[in-house]
Amino acid sequence: MGQTIASPPAGLCSTEERDERCGEALDAAMDEVMTAALAAGWHPYEVITAMFEWVVSTACNEATEDSVRGLLDHGAALVAARFEEGEDGDE
């Protein structure tokens, strides 16, 4: 992976703000993983499924059950919001 991931900015204290900045910092690296997997012949849905399974497994190993359930609830809300806005998930 050739991407450099930015450190969190100093002074951010809210979890939401840190989560958003972390997502921005990881975006290019995740795109690079997706591009490499597609070039290797994997289907996008397979890559997304593998990434999701990694996220769930890592979360279960690193956080409490309540935190993991909160993460999954947040993910479900993000999906619902995307489809309510008329987006189909394709970019």
Q: What is the pLDDT of residues 22-59, one digit of tens each?
A: 999 999 999 999 999 999 999 999 999 999 999 999 99
Q: For the chain, what is the mean pLDDT?
A: 89
Contacts of 67 (CB under 8 A, 6+ apart): 59
Share of the chain above pLDDT 90, in %: 67
Contacts of 7 (CB under 8 A, 6+ apart): 25
Q: Is the pLDDT of residue 91 over 60?
A: no
pTM over cut 0.85: no
